[in-house]
Amino acid sequence: MTWVALTLLAFALGVLAQARARHPLANPTLVATVLLVAALLLSRTPYGRYAAEVRPISFLLGPAVVALAVPLYRLRALLAREWRALVVGGVTGTLVGVGVDTLLPRLLGLSAEVQRSLVTAPVTSPVALQLAGVTGAPPALAATLAVLSGLLGALFLPSVLTRLGVRHPLARGVAVGSVSHGIGTARAREEGEETGAASSIGMGLAALVVTLAVALLK
Partner 1 sequence: MNGPAPASVTGRLPAPVRFVLGLGILTGFAALGTALVTVLRLPFPGSVVGMGLLWAALSLGVVRLHWIEGAADGLLATLGLLFVPATVGVIEYLSAGAAWALWLLVMLAGLLLGAGVAGLLAARLVRE
DSSP label of 84: I
Shorter beta-carbon distance to partner 1: residue 86 or 197: 86
DSSP state of 192: -
How far is Cα 117 from Cα 133, in angstroms, rounded to an integer? 11
Q: How many residues bind partner 1 (CB under 8 A)?
A: 111
Site for partner 1 in 12-41 (CB under 8 A): 14, 27-29, 32-33, 36-37, 40-41
Q: Which of residues 58-117 bind partner 1 (CB under 8 A)?
A: 58, 60-74, 76, 81-82, 84-86, 88-90, 92-101, 104-105, 108, 110, 114
Applying the rule CB under 8 A, the residues between 117 and 176 that interact with partner 1 are 118, 121-122, 124-127, 129-131, 133-134, 138-141, 143-145, 147-149, 152-153, 156-157, 160-161, 164-168, 170-172, 174-176
Nearest CA to 111 out of 148, 141, 146, 153 is that of 141
Does 197 contact partner 1 by CB under 8 A? no
Q: CA dist 162 to 23, 113, 175, Å?
A: 19, 35, 12
Amino acid (1-letter code) at residue 118: L
